[in-house]
Amino acid sequence: MNSEPAASADPGLFDKVVNLCKRRGFVYPSAEIYGGFRSTYDYGPLGVLLLRNVKDAWWRSMVQLRHDVVGLDAAILSPPAVWEASGHLKNFTDPLVDCRNCRERFRLDKLDDPHTCPNCGKHDTFTEARQFNLMFKTYAGPVEGKGAEVYLRPETAQGMFINFKNVLETSRKRPPFGIAQVGKSFRNEITPGNFVFRTREFEQMEMEYFVPPDEAEKWYQYWCQERLDWYRSLGMPDDRLRLRPHDADELSHYSSGTSDVEFLFPWGWDELEGIANRGDYDLTAHAKASGERLEYFDQAANERYVPHVIEPAAGATRTAMAFLMAAYDEEEVEREGTGKGESRVVLRFHPRIAPYKVAVLPLSKKVELQAPAREVLSLVQPHWMADYDETQAIGRRYRRQDELGTPLCVTVDFDTLDDRAVTVRDRDSMAQERVPIDGLVDYLRPRLDGE
């Protein structure tokens, strides 16, 4: 039995991470110079790297390292017919209530107590719930009105279903096989919030895995385990991750099983990803509405069937924030070379997730260090994203890289001019090692690209 105490939510972590995101250039409030645009965010120089690394790590594990999954990048704008057939026009709604006292709006299914307004504290002041459709509607072309209506996709998944036939005919894949996509989705959320956890514009990483009907349960179990392992393999601690099977009353009408991968956020357990056994619901609905046959003909068995679908659907932006929260740490350390104690903030990212993998730091701004430092930078850059920083005392620069989560710093000093070696400093242990410039890339590779 695991004797480790289970982790508990840390409410203070939320503000620390949000502040760090702004201060270090991970995430900025959108349109800030115009007073901001509620619950919308821009990813800064560090955030864009983090987000890209999360998406790349997903793609690597879901597409690159497999033989049975291919990629897709479908359009964001789509005609009403898609959403009519998928059921989104009718059913993609959340129950909206207004408080008659303070006029705040809430999503009824997310309230802790459906009788008490969390804003003003009054009881039984809510209006009847109205079903509010979450899709953003706009118009294609210069004339607004019926016939020109289009929707911004609220999920990437439908792109895979409506291209099922195209992919089947062009990719030489046969069930079990998957189609994966990473991209933006849009939902007119009633209550966006918790920083980038719930926003109206966000990124998803979704895969539809098409299987023979009698193998659906087996593959559902397989993907639940596979997806949970993915987060673990990238350094998310076991005690802040869990797989939670949905109760029967939570399941969509077409799903015979759904489990969420949940992370222990500062406000408690919440969803990172849902893995659903969707049966043949989607392909059947699109076949019916479009008149196309969305089936697979198994020549060996001489049988035709509609594949069942297992869908692991994750949020990229939400997951990037979870990696940030999991990585955040504070500790008391001795400042290098001073013997003095100080506290440091360190993001203990897995190297695959860390925005910068390496920072090249000339010990001082002196001109003679510039040529070797630039040489080291250009040796490293073709392989890894690297930062270059020559201002401030070296201790301050290490602290800055700790806060960015850079796994390794490479310092070029005056000895480098004689011995053509550099000091490599490890973010977590703060240990330093002297490494010849000529062997630097080989030294870094297993430390940054290892599993």
Please pick, from the candidates 283, 306, 314, 369, the single residue that binds ligand ATP as defined by CB under 6 A.
Answer: 314
- State the residue number with the nearest CB to ligand ATP: 315
**In the set 55, 165, 278, 318, which binds ligand ATP (CB under 6 A)?**
318
> Rounded to the nearest whole angstrom, what is the least distance from the CB of residue 291 to ligand ATP in the complex?
28
Question: CA 56 to CA 94: how far, in whole Å?
Answer: 32
* Binding span for ligand ATP by CB under 6 A among 40-48, 62-70, 80-88, 268-276: 268-276
What whole-number distance in Å separates Cα of residue 409 and Cα of residue 357? 9
CA 364 to chain centre: 38
Of the listed pieces 72-80, 278-286, 308-316, 390-398, which binds ligand ATP according to CB under 6 A?
308-316
Task: Name, in order, each residue with C-beta under 8 angstroms of 221's C-beta and a sequence gap of 6 or more.
Answer: none
**Pattern 146-185, ligand ATP, x by CB under 6 A:** ---------x------------------------------
Write the DSSP assignment of 418-444 as a string of letters.
HH-EEEEEETTT--EEEEEGGGHHHHH
Q: Please work out the total of residues on this chain that contact ligand ATP, with binding judged by CB under 6 A.
A: 16
Radius of gyration for the chain, computed over Cα atoms and rounded to the nearest angstrom:
25
Select 158 or 411, whichever has its Cβ closest to ligand ATP: 158
Instruction: By CB under 6 A, tell whether 423 contacts ligand ATP.
Output: no
Q: Does 317 bind ligand ATP (CB under 6 A)?
A: yes
- Supply the minimum distance, in Å, between the C-beta of residue 428 and ligand ATP: 28
**DSSP annotation of 338:** T
Which one of 315, 351, 355, 405 is in contact with ligand ATP (CB under 6 A)? 315
Among 10, 217, 271, 390, binds ligand ATP (CB under 6 A): 271
Q: Are 275 and 227 in contact (CB under 8 A)?
A: yes
Return the number of the residue (56 or 189) whose C-beta is nearest ligand ATP.
189
Nearer to ligand ATP, 309 or 394 (CB): 309
- Determine if 273 is a binding residue for ligand ATP (CB under 6 A): yes
Q: Does 311 bind ligand ATP (CB under 6 A)?
A: no
Query: 445 near 434, Cβ under 8 Å?
Result: no
Nearer to ligand ATP, 30 or 364 (CB): 30
Span interacting with ligand ATP, options 225-233, 235-243, 313-321, 407-415, rule CB under 6 A: 313-321
| Site membership for ligand ATP, residue 313 (CB under 6 A) | yes
Residue 73: strand, helix, or coil:
coil
Binding string, residues 383-402; x marks residues near ligand ATP by CB under 6 A: --------------------
Q: Of residues 180-239, which lie at the interface with ligand ATP (CB under 6 A)?
A: 187, 189, 198-199, 202, 204
Tokens of 340: 């003095």
Nearest Cα to Cα of residue 380 among 436, 430, 442, 427:
442
Check: CB of residue 306 under 8 Å from CB of residue 284.
yes
DSSP for 254-321?
Answer: T-SEEEEEEEEETTEEEEEEEEEEEETHHHHHHHHHH-----EEETTTTEEEPPEEEEEEEEHHHHHH
What is the rounded distance in angstroms from the CA atom of residue 155 to the CA atom of residue 83? 11
Residue 284 and residue 436: Cα distance in Å, rounded?
A: 62
For ligand ATP, the binding residues (CB under 6 A) are 155, 187, 189, 198-199, 202, 204, 271-274, 313-315, 317-318
